[in-house]
Structure 1
Amino acid sequence: MTSEESVAPAARVIKVAIEDEMKKSYIDYAMSVIIGRAIPDIRDGLKPVHRRTLYAMWGSGNTSDKPFRKSVKAVAATMENYHPHGDSAIYDTLVKMAQPFSYRYMLVEGQGNFGSIDGDSAAAMRYTEARLTKVAEALLIDIEKDTVNFIPNFDGSTKEPSVLPAKIPNLLVNGTSGIAVGMATNMPPHNLGEVCTLLERFIETPDLSIQDILSIMPGPDFPTGGQIMGSEGIMNAYTTGYGRIIVRGVAEVETGKRDTEKIIISEIPYQVNKARMIENIAELVREKKIEGISDLRDESDKDGIRVVIELKKGINAQVVLNLLYKHTQLQTTFGVINLSIVDGQPKVLPVTDILRHFLAHRVEVVRRRTEFELQKARDRFHILLGLLIALDRIDEVIAAIRASPSAEEAGVALIDRFGLDMVQADAILKMQLRRLAALEHQKILDEKTALEEEITRLMELLSSEANILSVIKVETSEIREKFSDPRRTEIALGADFLGKEALIEEKQVFLALTEQNYIKRMPLDTYRQQRRGGRGIIGMSTKEEDCIGSVFVASTHDYLLCFSDKGKAYWLKVYDIPEGSRTSRGKAIVNLLNINDESIQAVIPVANFRSDHFLFFATRNGTVVKIGLDQFSHPRQTGINAIKLRDGDELVDVKCTDGACELVLTTRHGQSLRFHEETVRAVGRGAMGVRGISLRHGDNLQAVTVINFDHLLTITENGYGKRTEFEEFRGHGRGTLGVRNIVTDVRSGMVVASRAISDTDEIIVMTASGIVIRTRVDEIAIQKRSTRGVRIIRLDDGDRVTGFAIVTAEMQTPLDEDDQKEEDDQKE
């Protein structure tokens, strides 16, 4: 080797910075993936592999009017000529285009096992058969009329279309999904009839508003049906190209044997694997995240989906269904990204821009098709002129041809003698003898006349874009009439997400709060009814130094307005209070509320914060304050100041009023004062209030009662109580001492609670040691003022009553056979 040869290779080395080469190579790779693999073209809505597969089937005559062919033939033709990236990728594409649960309008008609919605794979390509559908043919029709550009295939041996003519807005109709480098597309399918109608309207009115679009195309239309919850995500997707659409399966509740209910799922969200969803439900049941399901089975068949979920007796089916929406793929979110290739670049577009680009493509296709047909008509018209010249002088033509030694010389002779060109001369030489007849001559004249009219029509069509748009509108209407079908996906009105309340059954519950602020909730039927004077049952375990402070009944969906002794208000949802057993202690309310050095003195269940209702506050020293309920409608984690207290005073009770109520204030020593709330002016939060009742030395205000039922029920700490007619209490001026309500002495004890009550109600009385009794109000005697009342509960030594809760007639549940028998035995 010479010295020159040894240095020659080094002279051809080009030094490049590694970061520059990596950047350039990676950008090239990324663009290759974006343009050539993962992102569809906005014009025909197809990725290259889909376009190549359809074109290969079209080119081989594998169309809807021909018998099915083995899928392997379509795969082989595609791979051989257009897509050399492996047969599995091509076959997977073909299979997906043939699945009715993947494509809203299938582009391939399959015969054999093409997979299932349960995730089962398709059979091998040698077993299945396929052919194009009529919808696919609408994408390919007119491709032979020079309507689109053709580019060389991978090896230059043939050509393939860069895009399909596409009479159908396939990108909107069938949607698409794909992950490229640094970007992704996820477009939902729509109803073809709605898309075509929208395109027709867009041709007439290009500046459509979002309301106009939604009135025609209200949202995506998935092949698996389902429900779209709300339209906010749809509006965002249509206007910006991005949106989050919440899709639910369709489920109905049916009543089975023995009054048990079952949930029937008939439709599932798009792209959800049914078998995997059922497995997920079963797993949630095993983990006790969803309770109340007794059986789960899949009864789906060729007629459709049917998943049966059997529920246990007494289980609220709607709550279970909401839990399924929350924790399983029975509800999914479809994240819309309208990304497609526009003029060789990836862009995210709103619906109007997608329509505009598709329409521009159709205008180009129709123009090129018209130009192709015009040129073809002109070429034929030119030939017909030559044929007519030959027929008019047929004898001379025959003589000239016979005198020529060869066809080439015969053509030259015709050109020289009759003024024809080579195309006309060649057509005359190819003319059959039968066309010399007079009838054939007339047919040529008729064809010439028809061509003249066709040329005129095509030239007029090309004279303005408005004429082309009219043709597109007609063709779009024909497509709609041919392929449109009813919408499958319902656009449901309602919340776009499931709040916590939707997962909680709404029912009345019993709540107990201790003096040391431990709270719990229990079902109302925890305590069965007993006769007045019974000993009760253990209702709550407490510390030795703790005791039950208050009890009440509320709905699980209610807010609890919790008021502390320092006049602050806090919010708590009833369902956030842990449910406990009959004897459990409960949970420290400090763990549920953000309170410091405070004690909850009053709790008001509130369903709606109405502006025409008020909260009436009463303090230990007899002060009262009235504040609008709507001033407490905005929960704050740290609470708010409700009223301002004087030194040494504290809040003892709060009641909700409608602004026109009469009230009774009751003190610990048994004094009661009746007055109208109109004598107390409504003020804003943070007010100090006015005098409600005057107190004797050593006495303090114990309760506020709203006069809205039959009687005033007053109970003392030693278990005595009575009902009193409200007429017994004459209206006194606010701020006076009032009158005697009940005897408070060593035997009866001091007043612990006083509330208005209906004769059909029941009460749940609780003691400091946690003993509870539930009894009917009509068993408690109606007595005059200044009496002790009757014994309601028999107490153990050292125990005392701390309060009672009211169970109205609407809250009461019928007794079952065993409970009814026990009550009958008690009566006997």
Structure 2
Amino acid sequence: MKAFDLDEIQTDAILETRLYRLAKLEIQKIREELEEKRKAARKIEAILKSPEKLWAEIKSELEAVEKEFAEPRRTRISDEDVTEEFTAESFIVKEDAIVLVTRDGWIKRQRTINLASTRMREGDEALALVGGSTTESVILLTNKGSAYNVRINDVPQSTGHGTPVQQLFKFKDGERLVAAVGTDARVMPEFGMPKPELGEEYEEPYPHFLAVTRSGMALRFTLWPHREVSTTRGRMFGKLREGDEFVAVFKVYAEDDVCALTRSGRLLCCTAQEVSLLSGPGLGVVLVKLDDGDEVAGAFPGSVTVEVEKATGGSMKVGSGAVKPTARGGKGAELWKRGAVKKITLPEPTLPDLEASEAAKKQSKKA
């Protein structure tokens, strides 16, 4: 404006003209590119519609490859059988990972997980932290008595909330997770030992899993039938009477104590051997006898101390030391006179130390 004594309107007109011309050039380039692609598309359609043109194109491309890469064979042809059996594991990059499973049924895989900072949906909490090689699996146990096995490598990686397990498996109505465990021998010693023969008792030194139902039934079972990856419908580990469900599933050894806490505040603890070890899915035995209207609110290993919140307010710590272990089938000891159990909080799951487990395993082999 200063150099040519132009007013503001004249200056704007000059600038807009230049911008218009530039935009027009870009539009022309786009039109030319579009016309080229249309010509290429018409050519491809003509080739696909004509078998003669299609085979001519294939021949031309093969001849071009032959001309470009024409050189003597580098591999040696032999009648020696060098075939090797490949499995799904052959194509997995073997590395350690941690899988987080939440109580609301979300699952995700990361190299390592810090529960204090990892993302979970509001109101959700960690159910289990499963560690192991990407070639190993996670076994998910539900309140309906089903066990679902997914390879760790197939668990979606995520820095967010993760993936609902219903996207990986076909859950029944009302089905939800109650436990999760890995198959890596570093965290599940059972799979580092020889598999017991059919008909054996699977007793020590094998760890088992104990499942407790809302109606007070309990059973022990081995994870061997659930060792391999399952279909989307899973496999049964226990049976239920109509209207019943499993409220807890956890690992035990034969001499361990197990405890069941009823809604009315009665606690029964007994040794795991009191509960029958089943070779297949079954109903189990009566762990605790319930009064009318009562139910099992939760169950846990005797070595664990849980926090119990009462409906009337307040909370208390409860473990096997709270009562004297007895035989199964009784009503248990009364912890308080009034008020029902509102919530049972188990200890927060800890991060598996795979390196320490590997070192201990090697030391055991040397010994």
TM over 0.5: yes
- Structure 2 residue aligned with 1:506: 96
Is the Cα contact below 8 Å between 2:99 and 2:109 reproduced in 1? yes
Q: 1:566 to 1:549 in 2, by over 3 A?
A: farther
SS at 1:655 equivalent? strand
- Structure 1 residue aligned with 2:82: 243
Q: 1:614 to 1:245 in 2, by over 3 A?
A: closer
Q: Does 1:806 align with 2:349?
A: yes
1-structure distance, mates of 2:88, 2:342 = 54
Q: 1:588 to 1:604 in 2, by over 3 A?
A: closer
Q: 1:550 to 1:645 in 2, by over 3 A?
A: farther
Q: 1:562 deviation in Å?
A: 2.0
Bigger RCO (CA 8 Å, 6+ sep): 2
- Structure 1 residue aligned with 2:342: 750
Q: 1:808 deviation in Å?
A: 6.0
What is the CA deviation profile of residues 805-827 of structure 1, one whole-angstrom value per residue up to 9, with x for unaligned ones?
3226958xxxxxxxxxxxxxxxx
- Structure 2 residue aligned with 1:590: 166
Q: 1:738 deviation in Å?
A: 1.2
Q: 1:647 deviation in Å?
A: 1.6
What is the CA deviation profile of residues 508-553 of structure 1, one whole-angstrom value per residue up to 9, with x for unaligned ones?
4543131xx343456432516xxxxxxxxx95335xxxx5376222
- Structure 1 residue aligned with 2:332: 738
SS at 1:696 equivalent? coil
Is the Cα contact below 8 Å between 2:137 and 2:229 reproduced in 1? no
Stretches of structure 2 that go unaligned for 5 or more consecutive residues are 1-69, 197-205, 355-367
Stretches of structure 1 that go unaligned for 5 or more consecutive residues are 1-88, 94-176, 179-185, 189-236, 247-332, 334-494, 529-537, 755-762, 764-804, 812-828
Q: 1:667 to 1:509 in 2, by over 3 A?
A: same
Q: Does 1:713 align with 2:306?
A: yes
Is the Cα contact below 8 Å between 1:744 and 1:751 reproduced in 2? no
Spell out the pairing of 1:339-350 with structure 2 (5 A cutoff): none
Is the Cα contact below 8 Å between 1:674 and 1:730 reproduced in 2? yes
Q: 1:579 deviation in Å?
A: 3.8
RMSD value, Cα? 3.8
Spell out the pairing of 1:573-588 with structure 2 (5 A cutoff): 573-581=151-159, 584-588=160-164
What is the CA deviation profile of residues 100-152 of structure 1, one whole-angstrom value per residue up to 9, with x for unaligned ones?
xxxxxxxxxxxxxxxxxxxxxxxxxxxxxxxxxxxxxxxxxxxxxxxxxxxxx
Q: 1:706 to 1:700 in 2, by over 3 A?
A: same
- Structure 2 residue aligned with 1:670: 265
Is the Cα contact below 8 Å between 2:238 and 2:282 reproduced in 1? yes
Q: 1:727 to 1:752 in 2, by over 3 A?
A: closer
- Structure 1 residue aligned with 2:28: none
- Structure 1 residue aligned with 2:128: 552
What is the CA deviation profile of residues 305-360 of structure 1, one whole-angstrom value per residue up to 9, with x for unaligned ones?
xxxxxxxxxxxxxxxxxxxxxxxxxxxx9xxxxxxxxxxxxxxxxxxxxxxxxxxx
Q: 1:740 deviation in Å?
A: 3.7
- Structure 2 residue aligned with 1:616: 210
SS at 1:524 equivalent? coil
- Structure 2 residue aligned with 1:475: none
Q: 1:615 deviation in Å?
A: 1.9
- Structure 2 residue aligned with 1:564: 142
2-structure distance, mates of 1:648, 1:671 = 22
Q: 1:540 to 1:549 in 2, by over 3 A?
A: closer
- Structure 2 residue aligned with 1:541: 121
2-structure distance, mates of 1:694, 1:684 = 24
User: Which amino acid in 2 is paired with 1:587?
Assistant: T
SS at 1:807 equivalent? coil
Q: Does 1:694 align with 2:292?
A: no
1-structure distance, mates of 2:255, 2:91 = 35
Q: 1:571 deviation in Å?
A: 1.0
2-structure distance, mates of 1:593, 1:744 = 42
Q: 1:498 to 1:687 in 2, by over 3 A?
A: same
Which has the larger helix fraction? 1
2-structure distance, mates of 1:705, 1:742 = 19
1:628 to 204, 213, 222: 222
SS at 1:563 equivalent? strand
2-structure distance, mates of 1:671, 1:566 = 25
Aligned residue pairs, count: 263
- Structure 2 residue aligned with 1:653: 248
Q: 1:506 to 1:570 in 2, by over 3 A?
A: same
Percentage identity across paired residues of the two chains: 16
